[in-house]
Amino acid sequence: MFSDRRSLEAHQLQRLNALLFHVRPRNLFYEKKFAGLPYEIASLDQWRDFPMTTKGELSSQADSTGLAPHHTFPIRDYLRFHRTSGSTGRPLVILDRAEDWAWWIRTWQFVLDAAKIEAGTTVLMAFSFGPFIGFWSANEACLARGCRVVPGGGMSTAARLDLIQSAGCSVLFSTPSYTLHLAEEANKRGMDASKLGVQKIFVAGEPGGSIASIRQRIENAFDATVFDHVGATEVGPWGMGTPDGKAIHVIEHEFIAEFLPCEWSDHQSSNPKEEKSRPTTAPMELVLTSLGREGVPALRYRTGDIVRPRFDHHDANGFVRLEGGVIGRTDQMLTIRAVNVFPTSIEAILHSIPEIAEFRLIASREGAMDQLTIEVEDELHQPARITDLLDRSLGLRVEVVDVASGSLPRSTDKAKRFLDRRPSIL
C-alpha cells in the first residue's frame, strides 16, 4: 500500500498516462471526445479539464444491439458478454477481453483481502448467473484465491438454504434484499438462519451493506459479519466495505475518484443519536476512472451515485472513505411538497421496522407534483404507524398501503423496490 496520498496519486497519474497512451489512438469514441487535448497529462488536476462520460451518452450512441460505443479493439478480441440491468435506462452491452477480465479478478482481491477470505473456504454464490454482471467476477476471484465455490443459480430459495447446509458454506454472496429473504424463508421452514454456519456475507447490487438498519438485520439473522461491495458493469468492482461496516472505500489503487456537488435531502435515519453522530461531510456525486481496463475504459465516468467522501480517517489502506456507502442516486430524487428525498432514505427507515417483510415505493406525478405511495407487507397490518414514523423522520407524510404477505416480488438480482411511473422519467 502507499505511505501517503502523494505517492498514491503519483501511482494513479502514471497508470492514467499509460492507459491514455494505449487507448486513445485506438478508441474512436474517446479520441473524438478528447480531440485537441494532450495525450500525456502532468497532474490529476489537469485530468479534471477533460470532459466527463455519462451513461446517457453511451446509451444514445449504442448500436441496435445495445453494444456500448467505447470499446477500444475489434469485437473479435472480446470474450466476456455482460449487460447492465436497465434499472436506470436502456440496458447497455459491455464486453471484456481476457486481459480486462483478469483485471476485474485482480481488483476483487482487495475486497477478499478486506474480509480475510482464505484459500479452502467454501462459498455460495446466490445469484442468477445471467448477463447482468452480478457476482460473476466474485465467483472467479474466489476460484483464483483457492476457495471452493458453490454455484447457486437456477435454484429455489429453499434449495439454496439446503445447499448452504449440505455443502458447508461459511461465506455467502448475495444482494442485501435476497439475503433477508433467505432468512425469512428459513424462518417459514422452521430453520434458524443463525445455525446454518454462515460466518461472512458479501452483499452488493443495491444499497444495504453500509446502512446500519439493513446490516444489523442481516447480521442478527445469520449471526455473521456483513461486508459491503460496490461495482458497476460500466466501471468495474470499485468499492470494498470498511472494517467497521459503516462505509465503503474506493479501491484507489485501480480507480481515480472525483466528487461533484449535488442536491440531497439530508434525512436518512430515524435514530436521533445516529443523526448526531454522522459525519458532516457534504453529499457528492461520484465520478470514476478505471485504470486497468483498456478494452472498454470508463474515463471520468459519472456514476450517478451519491456519496459522502472523507479523507480525514485512520483506516489502514488510506483510500477515500464513503460514509454510509452509496446513499442515493442522482436520477431517483423525488420532490414531494417541496421536500427533496431519495428512495434510499426511505428504505433505510423501512428496514429498521422488523415487522416489514418487504416493501415497494411507487412514484407518480399529478400535474407538476411528484407523489409517492409505499406498499408494505406488514405483520402488524398497521400502516398508520409507518406513515407517522416517516413523518417524524423525514418531515414528509406519504400514503402507506398494507398488502398481502408474499405479494411483493423477490429477486436474487437488484431488488426493484422503486417503481418510477412519473411520465417525464422513462
| Residue labelled with grid coordinates 453511451 | 58
DSSP string, 276-324: HHS--PPPEEEEEEESS--SS---SEEEEEEE-EE-S---TT---EEET
Query: 365 and 318 in one domain?
Result: no
At residue 305, does pLDDT exceed 80? Answer: yes
Query: 281 and 167 in one domain?
Result: yes
The whole-number average pLDDT for the span 228-253 is: 93
* Cα distance between residue 332 and residue 353, in whole Å: 23
Q: 214 and 326 in contact (C-beta within 8 Å)? A: no
423, HSE (Cβ side, Cα atoms, 13 Å):
5
- Is the pTM higher than 0.75? The answer reads yes
At residue 23, does pLDDT exceed 60? Answer: yes
The whole-number average pLDDT for the span 277-303 is: 88
Query: Does any domain span residue 286?
Result: yes
Residue positions counted in the chain: 426
Q: What is the pLDDT of residue 62?
A: 94
Query: 204 and 338 in one domain?
Result: no
Query: 384 and 303 in one domain?
Result: no
Give the residue from 330, 350, 367 where a domain finishes: 330
Query: Does any domain span residue 25?
Result: no
Query: Does any domain span residue 392?
Result: yes
Query: Does any domain span residue 224?
Result: yes
* Cα distance between residue 415 and residue 344, in whole Å: 12
Q: Which phi and psi angles does 293 have, rounded to 5°?
A: -125, 80
Q: 288 and 298 in contact (C-beta within 8 Å)? A: yes
> What does pLDDT average to over the chain?
88
Q: What is the pLDDT of residue 338?
A: 56
At residue 336, does pLDDT exceed 80? Answer: no
Query: 400 and 259 in one domain?
Result: no
The whole-number average pLDDT for the span 87-111 is: 90
Query: 190 and 308 in one domain?
Result: yes
Q: Which phi and psi angles does 28 have, rounded to 5°?
A: -65, -35
Residue pLDDT, tens place only, 368-420: 667 889 999 999 999 999 999 988 877 778 889 999 998 998 766 666 788 87
Q: What is the pLDDT of residue 413?
A: 61
Give the residue from 297, 330, 363 where a domain finishes: 330
Domain span including residue 278:
98-330
pLDDT band at 280 (very low <50, low <70, confident <90, very high): low
* Cα distance between residue 157 and residue 155, in whole Å: 7
Query: Does any domain span residue 36?
Result: no
Query: Does any domain span residue 382?
Result: yes
Q: Which residue has the higher pLDDT, 88 or 121?
A: 121
* Cα distance between residue 113 and residue 22, in whole Å: 30
pLDDT band at 193 (very low <50, low <70, confident <90, very high): very high
Diameter over CA atoms, the chain:
66
Query: 160 and 115 in one domain?
Result: yes
The whole-number average pLDDT for the span 243-250 is: 90
Residue pLDDT, tens place only, 142-154: 999 999 999 998 8
Percent of the chain with pLDDT over 90: 64
Q: Which 8-state DSSP code applies to residue 175? A: -
Q: What is the pLDDT of residue 88?
A: 54
Q: What is the pLDDT of residue 343?
A: 79
Residue pLDDT, tens place only, 337-377: 656 677 777 887 888 898 998 999 988 877 666 788 999 99
Q: What is the pLDDT of residue 40?
A: 95
* CA-wise closest residue to 202 among 118, 126, 286: 126
Q: What is the pLDDT of residue 419?
A: 81
Query: 395 and 380 in one domain?
Result: yes
Q: What is the CATH number of the domain that holds 390?
A: 3.30.300.30
Query: 290 and 168 in one domain?
Result: yes
At residue 266, does pLDDT exceed 70? Answer: no
Q: What is the CATH number of the domain that holds 280?
A: 3.40.50.12780
Q: What is the pLDDT of residue 130?
A: 86
Give the residue from 289, 312, 330 where a domain finishes: 330
Q: What is the pLDDT of residue 84?
A: 86
The whole-number average pLDDT for the span 201-214 is: 86
**What is the dihedral angle through the alpha carbons of 272, 274, 280, 285, rounded to the nearest 10 degrees?**
-110
Count the domains in the chain: 2
Query: 389 and 338 in one domain?
Result: yes
Cell of 358: 418487504
* Cα distance between residue 298 and residue 149, in whole Å: 30
At residue 128, does pLDDT exceed 50? Answer: yes
At residue 86, does pLDDT exceed 70? Answer: no
Query: 323 and 348 in one domain?
Result: no
At residue 268, does pLDDT exceed 60? Answer: no
Q: What is the pLDDT of residue 230?
A: 94
Query: Does any domain span residue 20?
Result: no
Query: 384 and 252 in one domain?
Result: no
Query: Does any domain span residue 57?
Result: no
At residue 279, does pLDDT exceed 50? Answer: no
pLDDT band at 206 (very low <50, low <70, confident <90, very high): confident
Residue pLDDT, tens place only, 170-188: 999 998 888 988 999 999 9
Residue pLDDT, tens place only, 154-163: 899 999 999 9
Q: Which residue has the higher pLDDT, 328 or 35?
A: 35
